[in-house]
Structure 1
Amino acid sequence: MQIYSYIVVLLFVTGCSSDDNKVSVEDSVQVENPVSEEVEELTDDELMDFTQKESFKYFWDFAETNSGAARERYFPNEPAIDENIVAIGGTGFGLMSLLVGIEKGFITREQGIERIANIISFLETADRFHGAWPHWINGVNGNTIAFSDTDDGGDLVETAFLVQGLICVKEYFSDGNDTEKTLALKADTLWKGVEWDWYTQDQKTLYWHWSPNFGFDINLELKGYNEVLLPYVLAASSPDYTINKDVYTNGWASNGGIVSSDTPYNLPLVVDHAGNSPYGGPLFWAHYSYLGLDPRNLSDDFVNFNDVTVNHAKINYLYCVENPGGFADYGEDCWGLTSSYSRNNDGTLTYKAHHPGSEDVGVISPTAALSSMPYTPDESMRALRYFYSNKDKLLGPAGFYDAFSPQYDFWVSNAYLAIDQGPIIVMIENHRTGLLWNLFMQNEDVQLGLNKLGFSY
């Protein structure tokens, strides 16, 4: 099974779209499209400040109460739904968001240290499988919550997203006071316990899952292009459980087969996106691996990652401007297709991997455009002004809601996902100051790993 289909199918199976777990139409918002003049009075910086601060609330006000880690999802009208399910990847994004919160003054440094220390203490005792955490963990007791029938063990991709955050924490506090240095050491120790080489099965590739009950039965290789570049970089960076370059070359890069000659809108797609979309896959592929890993000067033996990420975002934008589906409001100020909540035909909530082409159903995901701010600053800012002009319907207690559709009486999801809110905060900050890119890229182990894989950066 392809990685692309695995993500979509499992998110459907595990609570976002099954008949027993549908959110009723009454639990989502359906309103007319309002327009506000106030948006014209705010500067770009003020709008970005506002967006980061509101999105930050997801990880501060609505975190899992025992661990302080990121909840998988949050429904403001039904806050008890899945309230103790911790998302491991989302927690990595949350750790990075907490650092932004400290820098921006949303919380004090002391408050941030206390929360991060609580999260790290929780992770130290939570279930791990050859060093890797599972996709979901119970925030009360640290026990694994199965993501699917056979996915009840280590998840290397979600672990990589967590490790990205841990490395940034390590770098942020490593020169601080004794308390901060201790926190940095704990973060460093945690990520270095991941047995990346175990997840090769002694083959020249990485595998996504291992279960104590089912072993490597899922047998899903990590091959690009999608969101799984980061595990290879981190595996090469590991001091004790490293991989050789040929694992990356054969696995991620398919011995050069990752390269694409497609040029939608006269822009090179550069890489062959999983799922064979001629316009590129969901836009989160340009975000998750690059919250810390800086693509601007990054290249390997096959591709330039600045071109990969920037062109992916621009193609997504140009597709929405062209709007071949004829959906309401699509255009220069309303765009962004990525995996997010979506709308069933009966108005209930589901999850879908929105991307240009066959998977475009008229649903816009704010995280797609906002998290692309470093790649498409003008286009993303226009989208932000559109979202803000509709803030009385699109804005909830933890930032802009996950998805909406002007096509269907301005349907709004009225729901949040950790993996969508986090990149908004982090990537806007990378656009503004490069904070997380600088922290991650200055890590000596990461630099050694990139060198080992033959990257230029």
Structure 2
Amino acid sequence: MTQQKPPARLTDNALLDLVQRQTFSYFWDFAHPTCGLPRERDHEHYKEVITTGGSGFGVMALIVATERKWINRTQAVTRLLKILSFLNRAEKHHGAFSHWLNGRTGKTIPFAKKDDGADLVETAFLFLGLLTVRQYFNRRNKEEQTIRTTITELWKQVEWNWFTRGRDVLYWHWSPEYHWAMNLPIEGYNEALITYILAAAAPEHSISKKVYECGWARNGAMKNGKAFYRARLPLGPDLGGPLFFAHYSFTGLDPRGLKDSFTDYARQNKAHARINYRYCVANPKRYKNYGKHSWGLSACDYKRRYREHSPVKDNGTICCAAALCSMPYLPKEAMAALRYFYEVLGDKIWGKYGFAESYNETRKWFATSHLAINQGATILMIENYRTGLLWKWFMKDKDVQRGLKKLGFKSPHLK
């Protein structure tokens, strides 16, 4: 699949079409040839490195591509059968996947010295995608039945409750050599809400509501309630943290009308995005061209490192996905950023896989890299803004609905 750059001035819809379709090339044309899953990034040192979380977003992108007829349903099914065959034989740790896999062999590639085993949050992002696929590919033919059956088998294998270590909290990592040495509890508020929802939703090895309330919510300690830049933030760190907190879990989880005893998640995500936007407009550090058209702080590349960027960790680097993924929350502001990225910065950050990771105009630096998880989230959150497609299919899943009810959530999707 190839896409040529058209004339610069496009309607909003045409520009959104272009960005989604060209970004999809990362997942279709640049997928690993053996397994069909996305590489972590487009760099020669990562040619065998498959990313688990980005793969969850990648399989959801196949749904968008099918609906928008960039590929046909048969092509999507063929790719998914290849992907699922690989995942079925790939190395797992108590049913969970590692952050990185070798796309040729399926073996774990260490993400860090002691991070050479299960990554429960990355596993959750993968299953967020797979459960959405299980709902969408619902025809009775042999191929789509195989897709659904294989996903269900993989889903049942994850020992979510084992990752509590017998305590009222989930732990992020486990290593076959270092065991629990990483010792990182998954505590809110951050990007990992979906991990607890899926752990509660699991047909086997599920967690209790108490684990959610004591572990994730920290008995209410994840609440914030303070106002920043005239926006009251219900949950999380002061000023909200990096914007991917409002994106990754919500590629499938529909925040509209989603509430539990701690917050209304549409309100949470809109406040988070608004604070991030208004901080960039205020531009307290006087970085070049920060403003209504150039905003968005999240985790992304800066020079040779992947870094977290936020209002409290700001070095002048704008993450393209941060604003684009905020389209459901701040559509006018996100579209202004999109037009700046495409029409003003242009070929400095635009290429065959869509927008590059990031840029820093103060330091005259423009990324040439693309990161699977941000590329995927961009396609999905733009689609959710336009049609609610991924929200519709993920929220239809009966296991997901059971998990949400178990944890005390309310949503228009729950029957």
Pair in the same fold by TM > 0.5: yes
The aligned residue for residue 28 of structure 2 is: 60
1:194-251 CA deviation, whole Å, 9 max, x = no partner?
1100100010110011111111121110100101111100010011111110000001
Aligned length: 406
1:240/1:46 Cα in 2 relative to 1: closer, same or farther (>3 Å)?
A: same
RCO higher in structure (CA 8 A, sep ≥6)? 1
Q: Could you tell me which runs of 5 or more consecutive residues in structure 1 were left unpaired when the two chains were aligned.
A: 1-35, 344-348
**TM-score where L is the length of structure 2:** 0.96
Is 2:113 aligned against 1:152?
no
The aligned residue for residue 353 of structure 1 is: 308
1:189 to partner: Cα distance: 1.9
Name the SS of the counterpart of 2:229 in structure 1.
helix
Deviates more, 1:189-198 or 1:434-443: 189-198
1:99 to partner: Cα distance: 1.0
Task: Note the 1:5-16 alignment, pairs <5 A.
Answer: none
Given that 1:166 and 1:188 are in contact with CA atoms closer than 8 Å, whether structure 2 keeps it comes out as: no
Cα distance in 1 for residues equivalent to 2:296 and 2:7 = 23
Cα distance in 2 for residues equivalent to 1:188 and 1:363 = 41
Given that 1:174 and 1:185 are in contact with CA atoms closer than 8 Å, whether structure 2 keeps it comes out as: no
1:164 to partner: Cα distance: 0.4
- 1:138 is matched with which residue: 102, 108, 129? 102
The aligned residue for residue 404 of structure 1 is: 359
1:176 to partner: Cα distance: 4.5
Q: CA RMSD in A?
A: 1.3
1:302-334 CA deviation, whole Å, 9 max, x = no partner?
111111111101111111111111111111111
Given that 1:224 and 1:252 are in contact with CA atoms closer than 8 Å, whether structure 2 keeps it comes out as: yes
1:56/1:297 Cα in 2 relative to 1: closer, same or farther (>3 Å)?
A: same
Task: Note the 1:273-288 alignment, pairs <5 A.
Answer: 273=237, 278-288=238-248
Name the SS of the counterpart of 2:232 in structure 1.
coil
The aligned residue for residue 441 of structure 1 is: 395
The aligned residue for residue 366 of structure 1 is: 320
AA matched with 2:211: V
Name the SS of the counterpart of 1:97 in structure 2.
helix
AA matched with 1:91: S
The aligned residue for residue 350 of structure 2 is: 395
1:82-118 CA deviation, whole Å, 9 max, x = no partner?
1010000110010011111111111111111111111
Is 2:56 aligned against 1:92?
yes
Task: Note the 1:215-254 alignment, pairs <5 A.
Answer: 215-254=179-218
1:344-378 CA deviation, whole Å, 9 max, x = no partner?
xxxxx222101013x11111111000011101100
Given that 1:71 and 1:87 are in contact with CA atoms closer than 8 Å, whether structure 2 keeps it comes out as: yes
Task: Note the 1:5-404 alignment, pairs <5 A.
Answer: 39=8, 41-75=9-43, 80-273=44-237, 278-343=238-303, 349-357=304-312, 359-389=313-343, 390-404=345-359
Given that 1:137 and 1:145 are in contact with CA atoms closer than 8 Å, whether structure 2 keeps it comes out as: yes
AA matched with 1:338: S
Cα distance in 1 for residues equivalent to 2:390 and 2:37 = 19
Q: Could you tell me which runs of 5 or more consecutive residues in structure 2 were left unpaired when the two chains were aligned.
A: none
Cα distance in 1 for residues equivalent to 2:145 and 2:283 = 51
Given that 1:86 and 1:137 are in contact with CA atoms closer than 8 Å, whether structure 2 keeps it comes out as: yes
AA matched with 2:266: N
Cα distance in 1 for residues equivalent to 2:340 and 2:152 = 41
1:81 to partner: Cα distance: 2.3
Deviates more, 1:311-320 or 1:177-186: 177-186
Q: Percent same amino acid among aligned pairs?
A: 47
1:144 to partner: Cα distance: 0.6
1:247-279 CA deviation, whole Å, 9 max, x = no partner?
000011001111112200121111122xxxx21
Name the SS of the counterpart of 2:384 in structure 1.
helix
1:38 to partner: Cα distance: 5.1
